[in-house]
Structure 1
């Protein structure tokens, strides 16, 4: 959800420059099931423009209507939306709507943390009952103990102790990042689809055939570097890498260049026999390479969905990356037992120990 929060910040910056007031709506609790889980949010501007969503599109009009009282009073409120009768989702949403009055200096801090890929936490304090309440709101906490409040009402939380308040906490990990090594036709389609998914996409191309940012719609960075000069910055467990240069020798050299970086997923384009030849050549070229790195490489990249076109191959690759980073065994949802949403690592551990 970090990419959604990033979009909210970007749009709010524009509204702030124009002097347009804004509020934020956040799902902080659910009784039953819902289309989205707690933590999802949206920005509503006083002119009616909305960014993001708290459901599949059916709740947003009611949120816009309820937000008007927050604009007029300046007080946060809790609204509920009963989907049992309206949506058939058998759940009640509790949505915190609060003023969003973050100063420009604080916005700059948030953007810097996002660029540096530093995790942070958002805590939303609320009363689980409909209506306006003076002391509710959300606070951003960074690892260095720096705090940013959404509004003055949230600032009161720092000086007042209120035991009646509930707190919904969520860790905002760095935006998921996809590094595409290769600039052929299929790389462009993967870039477009990954950016629509909300991922930050970086493209690595060869200096002999340099590409520009406009060649890859949706990418935030395009670099033209040889494997020998390649340096990947701030890679982490929110990073996936796909090698699709269509050049055997280059793929070997790029694998050598990234063998020590941290990542959540790495994939190779091409058939299984190409993967085996690549890994054999890599081991001969770099005999000290770790078994862990070799075993972590997915090739051919993608799930078996019968993909044929570049667009379909991009879908299969993104689907496999999602299944790996969410620790899911891909099956048809109609065959899945329990909820359809992916589980967190803590939920998986709790389930193993019978605590659910």
Structure 2
């Protein structure tokens, strides 16, 4: 959800420069089941455009229609959308509609927080009723205790009787791709579509640029022995795709210094034992925790053959690891998909 909010904020700031007013729609509660869960947001603009989505596409127009009163009187409200008779979700969504005004100071603080890869919280205050008007609104708080209100008229002092929805949003998930060939480009493209922040490290013998990797945040040419990496943690996955055994080994030796959530390596299954044996020779004290992070060959066994399919299988495996999910077909699920 972090990348969705980032896009909403960027669009809202652009709209403000053009004199277009904005309303932020946030799903703050849910009775039953729904396609999306509380915490999902979309931007409604006075020019009739919508950025983002809070469902599979069936709720947005109704929310936009019912938000017109907020555009007219600038008073936030909560609406209930009963999908039991119109959707296949059998749930009632409660959506907070609030005027959305962001200052340059807020944009700067949000950008700095993302740069430092810190989590942040958003707290929304509302009443769980349909067509309810009141002192409703949301507060965003960053790691350095900076706070900003989405609705400038919202008063935090008058919220004693209101319901609270609090959400912790992690930093953008980061993918570090080590390699610069065609398959690395495909992986980069698909990862950016997920909203991930992608950095690419290629060989100094074959340097590449940002133009070679559309959507990437950075592209550098480095060796594992000289590179200085930052922000490698549980919000980071690394995929090594050099197609070179020796280079892969050098990178594994280097990466022992860091704690990513996942390390994937391309290559045939038969090279895995050789690679790990040589890693032990260079680093006999290597930790079991680091070894558990290594996935080679990278990806899920979905029969992938093309570079695009291989990228899909790798990204799916990364998601299964960071979400701590055992992989199987959803048709085997008899209860709720999400806990």
Give the CA deviation at 1:161: 4.0
Partner Cα distance (2:17, 2:201) in 1 = 35
Show the counterpart of 1:278. Answer: 275
What does residue range 181-220 of structure 1 map to in structure 2 within 5 Å? 181-220=178-217
- The Cα shift of 1:162 comes to 2.2
TM-score by length of 2: 0.97
Structure 1: gaps (5+ residues) = 344-356
* Matching residue of 1:66: 66
SS in 1 for 2:84: helix
3-state SS in 1 of match to 2:67: helix
Distance 1:328 1:92 in 2: 27
Query: Contact conserved, 1:136 with 1:153, CA < 8 A, in 2?
Result: no
CA contact (8 A) 1:255 1:282 kept: yes
Matched, 1:229 2:226: yes
Asked if 1:162 is matched to 2:176, the reply is no
How far is 1:177 from its partner? Answer: 0.9
2:251 aligned counterpart, secondary structure:
helix
- Contact (CA 8 Å) 2:102, 2:150: kept in 1 or not? yes
Q: What is the rounded CA distance, in whole Å, between the counterparts of 2:171 and 2:223 in structure 1?
A: 27
Per the TM alignment, residue 80 of structure 1 is displaced from its structure 2 partner at its CA by 1.4
Query: Does residue 298 of the first structure (1) align with residue 286 of the second (2)?
Result: no
Q: Which secondary structure state, in structure 2, belongs to the residue aligned with residue 273 of structure 1? A: helix
Question: Secondary structure of the residue that 1:143 maps to in structure 2?
Answer: coil
Query: Which residue of structure 2 aligns with residue 327 of structure 1?
Result: 324
**Aligned position for 1:354:** none
Corresponding residue for residue 180 of structure 1: 177
Greater helix percent: which structure?
1
**Cα distance between partner residues in 1 of 2:109 and 2:93:** 31
Give the whole-Å Cα distance in 2 for the aligned partners of 1:262 and 1:295: 11
Equivalent residues of 1:268, 1:275 under 8 A apart: no
Deviation string 1:99-136 (CA, Å, 9 cap, x unpaired) is 10121111110111011111110011100012242310
Q: CA deviation at 1:13?
A: 2.0
Answer with 279-288 or 6-15: which moved more.
Answer: 279-288
Q: Distance in 2 between matches of 1:273 and 1:289?
A: 21
| Unmatched runs of 5 consecutive residues or more in structure 2 | none
Q: Which moved more, 1:296-305 or 1:127-136?
A: 127-136
Distance 1:97 1:247 in 2: 53
Distance 1:295 1:88, change over 3 A: closer
Q: 1:27 is paired with a residue of what secondary structure?
A: strand
Q: TM-score, normalised by structure 1?
A: 0.92
1:178 touches 1:242 (CA, 8 Å); kept in 2? yes
Runs of 4+ in 1 over 4 A off after TM superposition: none
Distance 1:187 1:207 in 2: 16
Whether the 8 Å CA contact 1:43–1:50 is kept in 2: the answer is: yes
SS in 2 for 1:85: coil
Distance 2:159 2:66 in 1: 27
How many Å apart are 1:254 and its aligned residue? 1.1
Aligned residue-pair number:
339
Q: Following TM superposition, by how much is the alpha carbon of 1:48 offset from its aligned partner in structure 2, in angstroms?
A: 1.4
Q: Give a deviation string over 1:166-216, Cα, whole Å, max 9, x none.
A: 111110101111111001111111111111111111111012111011111
CA distance in 2, matches of 1:45, 1:223: 38
Shifted more, 284-293 versus 33-42: the winner is 284-293
Q: Secondary structure at the match of 2:331?
A: helix
RMSD: 1.2
